[in-house]
A and B are shown apart, each in its own frame.
Chain A
């Protein structure tokens, strides 16, 4: 049997196993000449299926973790909000500072211009 065919048979068998419909014997009867090759693989798949059953976390754990996560998510959102507020406040302070420096430079420029003018008049 080609490898591709084995792959497809195992995939189909697994799909039926999940739906609790598979019987390895059905597949072996379909390919009697390949019984020796297929049988151990189908058997091991059925054993794996029997062992890997869904489990559920303890309800107390599940509920407790949800509560903690939601509390952490709320705190995170609040921190992000206050972070934004802080950055807006900082931006406003920088703007006020820049405006103050600009005003001071303008006044100094006017004073310098007046002094220069006075000196020029005195020299004349």
Chain B
């Protein structure tokens, strides 16, 4: 979290340059979060752009209620990702990235393909988890946040985050037990 985040957010309500600074601070975090939720860079870029446009449209209504500004951005991103998943389940389109992965798997050396397959399986399993568990894993391992920081973003206590992490690992273990 930025030291003068509150002041910067206030300025960003009327000052385009300040909004640009906020964007610089959070674009990677939001992109990472979305990328791991949707699984391809094309949609991750599209949803990242939409997240920041929505933030710009609504920033004058933003009120700090004790959570970091990033919590507000993650919530916008989360809602857009949820809508995206709803649309995808209606359309059932196979993404170009999926097709590329399949081709790469077929063409690559066996060991590399096997390793890639394992990674893909785990990522698929992670994407099957409930939203809050996916968010927890992304914030913890991609962003390297502490449980206390994750708690602030997700609006839960540190203890609740630790328990959620435990339950998340149990779910993943179960998924792999079933698969194996």
Contact = CB atoms under 8 A, between A and B. Distances in A.
Nearest to B49: A65
Contact of B52 (A41, A44, A65): A65
13 contacts: A10-B162, A14-B165, A18-B141, A18-B144, A48-B141, A52-B126, A55-B32, A57-B28, A58-B41, A66-B20, A69-B52, A73-B56, A77-B15
A40 B171 CA distance: 12
B27 interface: yes
A69 B142 contact: no
Interface residues on B, range: 35 or more
Contacts of B163: 7
Interface residues of A, number: 38
B137 A48 contact: yes
B56 A72 contact: yes
B147 A77 contact: no
Contacts of B44: 57
Given A48-B126, A65-B48, A70 B20 contact: yes
A70 B17 contact: yes
B119 interface: yes
Interface in A1-45: 3, 6-8, 10-11, 14-15, 17-18, 40-41, 44-45
Contacts of B176: 44
B4 interface: no
